[in-house]
């Protein structure tokens, strides 16, 4: 072959290649052009978008970018059709198939749109942070983009800002929303994108995002934006925006038609002309706009917006007083929601929404939808309709229907806001942990692969490695590893903080506990006097005559008993309010599952334990609720024979949840039921005895006491109850009721009942109650008082108003307070606004309703919005980025430090895990102890109150009888004394049961440390006491001397003694020394003199020195629980003044 | 009976009054030569005159167990003096034992009948372990329970057909011996295989059908304790 031929062949090949490349380019251009057409039609005709996208997709098997752009267009169509799952799956395919940042950005933006609409904040910010990274990346190469890519880039960037703005707008973060919108116009400079420009104008239209001189100016500006959006979309055939603008105009015209007519006359008449409404036409413009918008949305086939248009139409009808028509429109809107649900989620649930169904009042189907993770719905969409329905029903005087819709509305509001932050962060933490585990697996694999090699290397280099050098490397490595395990470290930190908190709580509970035990001792101190009376009476009975001496002695004893009772009463009064209930809101199901875990005890007895799951959330003291459930279940188990069944369940009433424990035991006699429900004091061991087995313990009495306590705490607990239903031979059902968490009242749950300023809370309670009772006018009066008090508390800020129609005030004052960081109870204000809104709704005062409802929702969103979330996600993505670099570093470092790492990783890991495990256990232990103490304290408190109340009457009665006694009356007195003793013993037993395990912690306590602590505290106390000298401290013990004691109690004892001895002019020397096998702590006051008589009586109730009684109790417990009686607590006069000393057992390890 | 001298130690005045009244009206032989409210006063009185009977309260002032110490010292310094405890510590059984160890002749609880002439006279006649009704009730109750436990043990041995080797085997299992170790015992003429067989038989005898699955040596030993076949108080290994 000649060289000429070669040349020809080469030319031919080039020609074919050029042809095929040209063909390919032509095909690409065709795909691009179809995609562009699809894009342009997005807001005009959604069906065409879908068809074009499909076509582009089929034409681009060899053109990935074209294919994926088509997918994005298709996803947009799906989004408009509200097929959220469809959008997700298409976007996933784009992400799998494409690595082009621009297309991935389009996918992110679409994901942001979907998650914004479905109210998924976490997903939104995840997509947003991804999008941010990509925008940065693309911006660097902006100049290299082709014209087609530029168009896409302009769309994606502007859409990113618009959708972010929309998100903020719905979160009531208007400033942020406005900032995002400001970013849109610069994006549009690169390329003309009319749709996005219209979108921008429309966003500014009805949004309240415009700033102006006054409200008229703002309205007019907004009108201009809307008009621009409307006109442009009409010209360009953007049906979607045309309808949207019209809809917004309809709402605007409802209240501002005359203003627009006056200042925007041309536009006003043009609009009239365009809609063929003449000046003398009776048709109202808002109605025409709304109907036209509805038709446009129907043509465009957008279900979401069709429903919105129906809503707008309903609003127009409503404003015109045409309630039936309004109701029909809203029902149509709900119908759209149902169509959407059945179209995509009909297979999951066939339930649909109805405006009001009297048979289904307790159920909120939309709430069920939002709780079901398989269903994506649009909560804001439905809540808007529900709110309007509640209004229209209220106007039609259908209170029940109105309440139902308002409840649904509030439910959705709570569902979309609550725990948003928590949920997303938990999820993120889980993801992080997974990622960390994944990294660990990689490390482990690498390790295993390179281990033999490293081993050889180590062997060879072992000699040359210096020990010190190795040590240094190890420590550096440990530090590096520690950095890697920051998750563990954070967990540790958190646990440590929790531990400190729990410890403090335990100290507080323990202090109360020891005081309660001292009170029980005081109560026991009465028994010998009672026995003495009994003894005297029986001696008189034996002799048959009344002796004056004995009579006098009885009266003296009665006086003494009364004196003790008085001390107890004062003591209880003194501490009233100190012992608060720990009110919180919690799900009962968690407690139920704890009970279910304990089925072993039931199995062993052959009793079936049935725990019915529940979704009820209650507001109560969790520890006490658990105690009550346990008590009832234990009783049921005890009284149910083998083969029987115990059922634990909860049912929701209007404002309470009833927890009931049903058994198939013998049941109780009507007398027993009567005793349980009506008698405050009864012999618990006799109940349910019915001939066999043991009776009930004090559990039921305690349960009833707890319920009484709730009722006394606040009127919020008025629905609390305790009771029993029983049929002999069939079984019993014990139940108690606690308040159900309802609607926005739930927001008050976090506030401890004690912590709210008493006045405001009381008024708030009154509003709540009067609303429930239907006295709405009265509720508004209370609300005014409540607002007044709040304003009195905050005089330097604009006052909160019940209603404010000043157009200059665009926000309710409390939102300004919240923005300025004023310290106020915002949860309470939210609740208050909700109650006012409810009253207003019932009174048909729509302006008042709208104002308060808006204020309520805005404040609720404001205080619950997570301002940290965006930053958090940015930080997180940075962390991910850093983690990748770190991972690379890990691999390199692993190769270098292979030998040491395997041991160290395992060591560090197990060490950290062990620490965390130990800390968690410690925390669980503290929680358990704290709960036990808390329950014990509450019960003791109840017992003591009962003792106080129930036994008060008897002493005076005995005195009365004794003073007037004749020989024949002795038996009567004897009976009374015997009965009094019986009652008293019963009550004491109930209290004793609680003090049997006081949780005394025997430790070796360093004397010097404990004394220093007490001394520092005493010095501080002395400053506060007028004329008291600064205490002095003399330590005659070795620094390492220890005593056997409970450190917390010892601290409390010293504090009690100092607090009581530090009186005006006191001059206290505190010394500590060894005293044979004991350590003696002496507090000597050389400035106050007390005689023998006073010092001898210092530790008796009649001296009324309550701290000394507590000190005596603490010493008594040290005597008992250190297993070595011999501790002393003595008060005696000294050379100058007096001294109190106590001794504690010296610890064996002391020198 | 001859007259005798009494010192009353009681920190609550009103109670002291009642106690004195009891002595005055019911025990005329007794001459109350002094009363004390705290430890210091007790020794002062003793220095003046040694009584024949010390009626002692256990808790004085802030110290709730100081009486035990006083009792111990009186016993060693004045062996002729009788000590009768008169206390309101009606639940603290450990303290009763402590004070008996310290040499008290009896304990009268401040409940029920309180102090009677009979109790005081018994102590004066040299009787030890004088108690009033509430303590006696407790003692009898404990005694009954211990006898009942014995009976239960005997019944259990019969009804579960326990022979001496079964008992020895179970007892050593409860003490933590392995079967190999038990087989080494002098009183156990079996090898481990036989012991394993014996264990299976014991499980069958001691557990009802349906509860036998998964019973290990520990559970078996605990069951033997529950059924009173073994006595927790006499859980000793064989003397080898």
Q: What is the DSSP string of A756-777?
A: S-HHHHHHHHHHHHHHHTT-HH
Measured between alpha carbons, how far is A718 from A737 in angstroms, rounded to an integer? Answer: 10
Measured in degrees and rounded to the nearest 5, phi and psi for residue A290 equal: -60, -45
The answer to whether residues B17 and B124 belong to one domain is: yes
**Helix (H, G, I), strand (E, B), or coil: what is residue B62?**
coil
Contact (CB<8Å) A529/B65? no
pLDDT at A448 over 80: no
Q: Which of B67, B99, B131 is the last residue of a domain?
A: B131
Measuring CA to CA, how many Å separate A1056 from each of A933, A1051, B200?
21, 9, 62
* Residue with more model confidence, A86 or A639: A86
Instruction: Convert the pLDDT of each residue in B63-122 to its tens digit.
Output: 888 999 999 999 999 999 999 999 988 888 888 999 999 999 999 998 877 888 999 999
Categorize the per-residue pLDDT at A450 as very low, low, confident or very high, splitting at 50, 70 and 90.
Answer: low
- Tokens 């405006």 belong to residue: A355
Q: Which of B12, B38, B65 sits opposite A1125 (nearest CB)?
A: B65
A1119 close contact with B: CB closer than 8 A: yes
A389 close contact with B: CB closer than 8 A: no
Flag the least confident range among A221-225, A508-512, B97-101, B218-222: A508-512
Contact (CB<8Å) A528/B112? no
Contact (CB<8Å) A527/B12? no
Neighbours of A574 (CB within 10 A): 11
DSSP class of A740 = B
For A181-186, which contacts have Cβ atoms below 8 Å and span 24 or more sequence positions? Answer: A181/A209, A184/A158
The answer to whether residues B11 and B121 belong to one domain is: yes
Pick the closest to residue A1130 from B9, B71, B16, B38 (CA basis).
Answer: B38
Measuring CA to CA, how many Å separate A786 from each of A760, A765, A832, A847?
6, 10, 8, 20
Pick the closest to residue A50 from A304, A232, A300 (CA basis).
Answer: A300
A952 close contact with B: CB closer than 8 A: no
Q: A residues 1057-1096 near B, CB within 8 Å?
A: 1096
What per-residue confidence (pLDDT) applies to A726? Answer: 84
Cβ partners under 8 Å of residue A1032, min gap 6:
A1068, A1069, A1070
Q: B residues 72-101 near A, CB within 8 Å?
A: 88, 90-92, 94-95, 98
Instruction: Convert the pLDDT of each residue in A831-862 to its tens digit.
Output: 888 888 888 888 888 888 888 888 888 887 77
Question: What's chain B's average pLDDT?
Answer: 91
SS (H, E, C) A1007-1055: HHHHHHHHHHHHHHHHHHCCCCCCCEEEECCCCCCEEEECHHHHHHHHH
- Is the separation of the CB atoms in A546 and A965 below 8 Å? yes
Considering the domain boundaries, does residue B70 fall inside one?
yes
Interface mutation target, options B9, B18, B119, chain A, most CBs of A under 10 Å? B18
Contact (CB<8Å) B92/A532? no
Measuring CA to CA, how many Å separate A204 from each of A169, A244, A974, A978, B133?
11, 12, 90, 85, 93
Residues of B in contact with A1098 (CB under 8 A): 61-62
**Helix (H, G, I), strand (E, B), or coil: what is residue A912?**
helix
**Helix (H, G, I), strand (E, B), or coil: what is residue B204?**
helix
Contact (CB<8Å) B113/A532? no
Measured between alpha carbons, how far is A234 from A244 in angstroms, rounded to an integer? Answer: 11
The answer to whether residues B14 and B124 belong to one domain is: yes
Q: Which of B131, B166, B199 is the last residue of a domain?
A: B131
Mind listing the domains of chain A with CATH numbers? 494-578+931-995 (1.20.120), 583-742 (3.30.565.10), 744-859 (no CATH), 1003-1145 (3.30.565.10)
Instruction: Convert the pLDDT of each residue in A1030-1055 to its tens digit.
Output: 899 999 998 899 999 999 999 999 99
Considering the domain boundaries, does residue B107 fall inside one?
yes
A553 close contact with B: CB closer than 8 A: yes
Measured between alpha carbons, how far is A1021 from A7 in angstroms, rounded to an integer? Answer: 109
Considering the domain boundaries, does residue B197 fall inside one?
yes
Query: Domain range holding B88?
Result: 4-131
What per-residue confidence (pLDDT) applies to A509? Answer: 85
Residues of B in contact with A553 (CB under 8 A): 17-18, 21
The answer to whether residues B166 and B206 belong to one domain is: yes
Question: What's chain A's average pLDDT?
Answer: 81
A1111 close contact with B: CB closer than 8 A: yes
H/E element holding A882?
helix A869-896
What per-residue confidence (pLDDT) applies to A472? Answer: 44
3-state helix, strand, coil in chain B (%, to 5): 50, 15, 35
- Is the separation of the CB atoms in A588 and A621 below 8 Å? no
Burial of A590 (0-12, 13-18, 19+ CB in 10 A): exposed
What per-residue confidence (pLDDT) applies to A638? Answer: 84
The answer to whether residues B151 and B96 belong to one domain is: no
Residues of B in contact with A524 (CB under 8 A): 88
What per-residue confidence (pLDDT) applies to A745? Answer: 47
Nearest chain A residue to B112 by CA distance is: A531
Q: Please state the ipTM of this predicted complex.
A: 0.82
The answer to whether residues B126 and B164 belong to one domain is: no
Measured between alpha carbons, how far is A453 from A540 in angstroms, rounded to an integer? Answer: 102
Neighbours of A877 (CB within 10 A): 17
Interface mutation target, options B42, B62, B95, B104, chain A, most CBs of A under 10 Å? B62
- Tokens 């002395």 belong to residue: A1022
What per-residue confidence (pLDDT) applies to A76? Answer: 92
Instruction: Convert the pLDDT of each residue in A865-921 to its tens digit.
Output: 655 555 665 565 566 556 666 666 666 766 676 666 566 666 666 777 787 888 888
Contact (CB<8Å) B18/A1108? no
Contact (CB<8Å) B114/A557? no
Considering the domain boundaries, does residue B139 fall inside one?
no
H/E element holding A949?
helix A898-951
Q: Which of B25, B64, B110 sits opposite A1119 (nearest CB)?
A: B64
pLDDT at A1104 over 60: yes
Q: Which of A528, A1099, A1127 sits opposite B88 (nearest CB)?
A: A528
What mean pLDDT do residues A152-181 have?
87
What per-residue confidence (pLDDT) applies to A162? Answer: 93
The answer to whether residues B123 and B28 belong to one domain is: yes
A538 close contact with B: CB closer than 8 A: yes
Residues of B in contact with A529 (CB under 8 A): 14-15
A1130 close contact with B: CB closer than 8 A: yes
Pick the closest to residue A939 from A444, A519, A419, A559 (CA basis).
Answer: A519
Considering the domain boundaries, does residue B240 fall inside one?
no
A1131 close contact with B: CB closer than 8 A: yes
Measured between alpha carbons, how far is A316 from A313 in angstroms, rounded to an integer? Answer: 5
Please count the structural domains in chain B.
2
Pick the closest to residue A1138 from A1105, A1115, A1102, A1101 (CA basis).
Answer: A1105
- Tokens 């159920």 belong to residue: A363
What mean pLDDT do residues A27-39 have?
89
Considering the domain boundaries, does residue B188 fall inside one?
yes
Measured between alpha carbons, how far is A561 from A737 in angstroms, rounded to an integer? Answer: 38
Cβ partners under 8 Å of residue A581, min gap 6:
A620, A621, A624, A709, A710, A713, A753, A938
CATH number where B76 lies: 3.40.50.2300
pLDDT at B144 over 90: yes
Considering the domain boundaries, does residue B217 fall inside one?
yes
- Is the separation of the CB atoms in A184 and A193 below 8 Å? no
- Is the separation of the CB atoms in A974 and A541 below 8 Å? yes
Measured between alpha carbons, how far is A402 from A637 in angstroms, rounded to an integer? Answer: 45
The answer to whether residues B13 and B101 belong to one domain is: yes
Pick the closest to residue A222 from A209, A236, A242, A205 (CA basis).
Answer: A205
Contact (CB<8Å) A1126/B94? no
In angstroms, how far is the first alpha carbon of chain A from the final one? 113
- Tokens 């409200």 belong to residue: A215
Flag the least confident range among A444-453, A614-623, A916-925: A444-453
A540 close contact with B: CB closer than 8 A: no
Q: How far is B240 from chain A (nearest CA, A)?
A: 35
Q: Which of B18, B66, B94 sits opposite A553 (nearest CB)?
A: B18
Q: How far is A974 from chain B (nearest CA, A)?
A: 13
Q: Where are the alpha helices (DSSP H) in A237-360?
A: 239-263, 265-274, 285-300, 303-319, 323-345
Write out the two tokens for A937.
């304290």
- Is the separation of the CB atoms in A263 and A220 below 8 Å? yes
Measuring CA to CA, how many Å separate A533 from each of A980, B17, B85, B87, B132?
11, 13, 20, 16, 18
Write out the two tokens for A871.
């930053």
Letter string b/e over residues A1080-1106, b meaning 16 or more CB atoms within 10 A of that residue's CB: bbbbbbbeeebeeeebbbbbbbebebb
What mean pLDDT do residues A641-658 have?
88
Residues of A in contact with B112 (CB under 8 A): 531, 534
The answer to whether residues B11 and B114 belong to one domain is: yes
**Helix (H, G, I), strand (E, B), or coil: what is residue A1145?**
strand
Max mean pLDDT range (A214-218, A885-889, A1057-1061): A1057-1061
Q: Which of A524, A532, A1129 sits opposite B63 (nearest CB)?
A: A1129
Flag the least confident range among A80-94, A662-676, A751-765: A751-765
Write out the two tokens for A664.
């198939």
In sequence order, what are the beta bridge partners of A51? Answer: none
- Is the separation of the CB atoms in A1009 and A1053 below 8 Å? no
Residues of B in contact with A1131 (CB under 8 A): 61-62
What mean pLDDT do residues A914-933 have?
84
For B193-201, which contacts have Cβ atoms below 8 Å and span 24 or more sequence positions? Answer: B195/B169, B198/B165, B198/B166, B198/B169, B199/B169
Measured between alpha carbons, how far is A19 from A40 in angstroms, rounded to an integer? Answer: 31
Considering the domain boundaries, does residue B184 fall inside one?
yes
Measured between alpha carbons, how far is A1133 from A622 in angstroms, rounded to an integer? Answer: 50
For A822-826, which contacts have Cβ atoms below 8 Å and span 24 or more sequence positions? Answer: A822/A794, A822/A797, A824/A790, A824/A793, A824/A794, A825/A751, A825/A756, A825/A757, A825/A760, A826/A859, A826/A863
Q: Which of B131, B162, B190 is the last residue of a domain?
A: B131
The answer to whether residues B187 and B102 belong to one domain is: no
pLDDT at B35 over 90: yes
Using alpha carbons only, what angle is made at residue A596 by residues A593 and A599, rounded to the nearest 5 degrees?
160
- Is the separation of the CB atoms in A856 and A744 below 8 Å? yes
The answer to whether residues B93 and B194 belong to one domain is: no
What per-residue confidence (pLDDT) applies to A186? Answer: 86
Contact (CB<8Å) B21/A549? yes
- Is the separation of the CB atoms in A246 and A293 below 8 Å? yes
A556 close contact with B: CB closer than 8 A: yes
Q: At what angle do helices A121-140 and A869-896 cross, to 10 degrees?
A: 70
B65 close contact with A: CB closer than 8 A: yes
Cβ partners under 8 Å of residue A198, min gap 6:
A43, A228, A229, A232, A233, A236, A238, A241
The answer to whether residues B164 and B192 belong to one domain is: yes
- Is the separation of the CB atoms in A948 and A565 below 8 Å? yes
pLDDT at A257 over 90: no
What per-residue confidence (pLDDT) applies to B178? Answer: 93
Measuring CA to CA, how many Å separate A14 from each of A5, A9, A515?
14, 9, 101
What per-residue confidence (pLDDT) applies to A991? Answer: 84
Q: How far is A726 from chain B (nearest CA, A)?
A: 34
Nearest chain A residue to B113 by CA distance is: A535
Write out the two tokens for A791.
């304003």
């Amino acid at each position: 072959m000649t060289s000429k031929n070669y040349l020809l062949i080469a030319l031919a090949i080039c020609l074919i290649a050029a042809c095929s490349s040209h063909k390919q380019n032509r095909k690409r251009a065709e795909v691009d052009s179809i995609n562009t057409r699809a894009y342009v039609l997005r807001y005009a005709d959604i069906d065409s978008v879908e068809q074009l996208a499909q076509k582009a997709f089929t034409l681009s098997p060899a053109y990935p970018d074209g294919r994926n752009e088509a997918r994005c267009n298709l996803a947009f169509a799906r989004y408009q059709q509200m097929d959220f799952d469809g959008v997700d799956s298409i976007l996933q395919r784009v992400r799998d198939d494409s690595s082009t940042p621009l297309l991935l950005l389009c996918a992110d933006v679409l994901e942001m749109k979907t998650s914004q609409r479905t109210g998924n904040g976490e997903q939104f910010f995840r997509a947003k942070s991804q999008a941010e990274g990509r925008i940065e990346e693309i911006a660097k190469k902006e100049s290299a983009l082709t014209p087609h890519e530029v168009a896409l880039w302009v769309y994606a960037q502007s859409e990113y800002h618009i959708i972010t703005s929309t998100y903020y707008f719905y979160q009531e973060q208007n400033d942020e929303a406005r900032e995002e919108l400001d970013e849109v116009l610069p994006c549009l400079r690169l390329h003309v994108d009319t749709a996005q420009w219209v979108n921008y104008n429309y966003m500014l239209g009805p949004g309240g995002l415009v700033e102006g001189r006054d409200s008229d100016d703002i309205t007019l500006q907004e009108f201009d934006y809307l008009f621009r959006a409307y006109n442009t979309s009409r010209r360009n055939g953007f049906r979607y925006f045309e309808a949207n603008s019209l809809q917004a105009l309809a709402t605007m015209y409802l209240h501002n038609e005359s203003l627009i007519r006056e200042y925007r006359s041309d536009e006003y008449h043009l609009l009239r002309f365009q809609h063929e409404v003449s000046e003398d036409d009776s048709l109202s413009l808002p109605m025409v706009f709304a109907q036209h918008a509805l038709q446009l949305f129907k043509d465009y086939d957008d279900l979401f917006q069709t429903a919105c248009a129906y809503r707008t139409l309903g609003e127009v009808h409503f404003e015109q007083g045409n309630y039936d028509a309004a109701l029909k429109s809203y029902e149509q809107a709900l119908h759209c929601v149902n169509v959407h649900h059945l179209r995509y989620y009909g297979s999951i649930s066939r339930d649909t929404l109805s405006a009001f169904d009297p048979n289904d009042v307790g159920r909120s189907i939309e709430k069920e939808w939002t709780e079901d993770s398989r269903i994506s719905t649009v909560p804001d969409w439905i809540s808007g309709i529900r709110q309007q329905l509640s209004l229209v029903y209220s106007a039609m005087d259908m209170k029940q229907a109105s309440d139902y819709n308002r409840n649904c509305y509030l439910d959705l509001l709570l569902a979309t806001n609550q725990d948003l932050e928590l949920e997303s962060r938990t999820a993120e933490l889980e993801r992080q942990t997974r990622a960390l585990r994944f990294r660990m697996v990689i490390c482990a694999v690498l390790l295993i692969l390179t281990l033999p090699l490293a081993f050889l290397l180590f062997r060879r280099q072992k000699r040359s490695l210096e020990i010190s050098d190795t040590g240094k490397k190890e420590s550096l490595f440990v530090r590096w590893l520690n950095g890697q395990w920051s998750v563990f470290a954070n967990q540790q930190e958190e646990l440590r903080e929790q531990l400190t908190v729990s410890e403090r709580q335990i100290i507080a509970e323990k202090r109360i506990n020891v005081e309660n035990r001292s009170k029980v001792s005081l109560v026991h101190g009465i028994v010998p006097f009672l026995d003495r009376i009994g003894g005297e009476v029986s001696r008189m009975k034996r002799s048959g005559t009344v002796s004056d001496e004995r009579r006098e002695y009885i009266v003296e004893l009665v006086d003494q008993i009364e004196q003790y009772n008085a001390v107890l009463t004062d003591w209880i009064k003194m501490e009233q309010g100190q012992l608060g209930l720990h009110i919180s809101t919690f799900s009962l199901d968690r407690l139920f599952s704890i009970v279910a875990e304990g089925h072993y005890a039931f199995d062993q007895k052959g009793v079936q334990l049935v725990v019915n799951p529940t979704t009820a959330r209650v507001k109560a003291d969790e520890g006490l609720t658990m105690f009550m459930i346990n008590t009832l279940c234990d009783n049921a188990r005890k009284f149910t024979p083998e083969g029987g069944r115990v059922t634990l369940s909860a049912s929701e009433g209007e404002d309470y949840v009833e927890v009931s424990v049903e058994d198939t035991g013998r049941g109780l006699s009507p007398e027993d039921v009567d005793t349980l429900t009506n008698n405050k004091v009864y012999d618990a061991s006799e109940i349910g005895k019915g001939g066999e087995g043991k009776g009930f313990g004090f559990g039921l009495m305690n349960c009833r006491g707890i319920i009484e306590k709730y009722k006394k705490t606040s009127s919020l607990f008025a629905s609390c109850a305790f009771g029993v239903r029983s049929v002999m031979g069939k079984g019993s059902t014990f139940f108690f009721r606690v308040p159900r968490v309802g609607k926005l009242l739930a927001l008050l749950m976090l506030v401890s009942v004690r912590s709210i300023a008493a006045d405001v809370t009381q008024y708030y309670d009154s509003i709540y109650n009067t609303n429930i009772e239907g006295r709405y006018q009265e509720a508004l009066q209370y609300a005014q008082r409540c607002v007044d008090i709040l304003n009195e508390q905050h005089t330097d800020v604009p006052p909160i108003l019940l209603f404010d129609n000043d157009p200059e005030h665009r926000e309710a004052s409390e939102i300004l307070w919240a923005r300025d960081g004023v310290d106020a109870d915002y949860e309470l204000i939210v609740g208050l606004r909700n109650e006012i809104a409810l009253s207003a709704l019932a009174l048909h005062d729509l302006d008042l309703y709208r104002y308060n409802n808006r204020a309520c929702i805005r404040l609720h969103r404001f205080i619950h919005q997570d301002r940290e979330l965006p930053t958090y996600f940015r930080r997180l993505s940075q962390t991910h980025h850093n983690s990748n670099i770190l991972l690379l570093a890990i691999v390199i470092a692993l190769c270098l430090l292979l030998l040491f790492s395997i041991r160290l990783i395992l060591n560090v890991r197990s060490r950290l895990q062990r620490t965390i495990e130990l800390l968690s256990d410690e925390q669980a232990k503290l929680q358990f102890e704290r709960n036990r103490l808390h329950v014990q304290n509450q019960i003791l408190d109840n017992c003591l109150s009962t003792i106080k109340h129930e036994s008060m009457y008897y002493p005076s009665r005995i005195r009365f009888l004794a003073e007037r006694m004749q020989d024949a009356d002795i038996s009567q007195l004897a009976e009374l004394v015997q009965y009094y003793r019986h009652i008293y013993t019963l009550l004491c037993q109930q209290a004793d049961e609680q003090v049997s395990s006081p949780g005394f912690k025997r430790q070796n306590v360093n004397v010097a440390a404990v004394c220093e602590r007490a001394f520092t505290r005493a010095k501080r106390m002395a400053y506060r006491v007028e004329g008291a000298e600064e205490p002095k401290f003399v330590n005659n013990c070795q620094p390492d001397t220890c005593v056997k004691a409970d450190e917390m109690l010892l601290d409390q004892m010293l504090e009690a003694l100092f607090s009581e001895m530090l009186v005006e002019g006191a001059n206290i020397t505190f010394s500590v020394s060894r005293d044979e096998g004991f350590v003696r702590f002496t507090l000597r006051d050389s400035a106050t003199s007390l005689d023998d008589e006073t010092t001898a009586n210092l530790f008796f109730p009649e001296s009324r020195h309550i701290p000394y009684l507590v000190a005596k109790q603490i010493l008594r417990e040290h005597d008992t629980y250190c297993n070595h009686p011999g501790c002393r607590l003595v008060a005696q006069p000294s050379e100058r003044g007096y001294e109190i000393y106590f001794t504690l057992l010296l610890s064996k390890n002391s020198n | 009976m001859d007259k005798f001298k009494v010192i009353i130690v009681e920190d609550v005045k009103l109670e002291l009054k009642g106690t004195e009244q009891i002595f005055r009206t019911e025990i005329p032989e007794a001459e109350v030569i002094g009363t004390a409210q705290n430890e210091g006063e007790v020794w002062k009185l003793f220095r003046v005159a040694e009584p024949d009977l010390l009626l002692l309260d256990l808790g004085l002032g802030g110290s709730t167990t100081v009486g035990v110490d006083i009792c111990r010292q009186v016993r060693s310094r004045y062996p002729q003096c009788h000590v009768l405890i008169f206390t309101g510590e009606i639940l603290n059984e450990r303290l009763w034992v402590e004070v008996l160890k310290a040499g008290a002749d009896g304990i009268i609880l401040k409940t029920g009948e309180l102090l009677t002439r009979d109790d005081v006279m018994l102590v004066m006649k040299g009787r030890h372990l004088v108690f009033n009704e509430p303590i006696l009730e407790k003692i009898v109750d404990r005694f009954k329970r211990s006898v009942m436990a014995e009976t239960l043990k005997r019944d259990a041995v019969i009804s579960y057909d326990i022979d001496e080797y079964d008992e020895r085997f179970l007892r050593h299992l409860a003490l933590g011996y392995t079967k190999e170790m038990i087989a080494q015992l002098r009183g156990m003429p079996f090898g481990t295989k036989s012991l394993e067989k014996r264990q299976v038989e014991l499980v069958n005898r001691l557990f009802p059908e349906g509860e036998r699955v998964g019973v290990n040596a520990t559970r078996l030993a605990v069951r033997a304790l529950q059924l009173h076949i073994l006595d927790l108080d006499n859980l000793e290994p064989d003397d080898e």
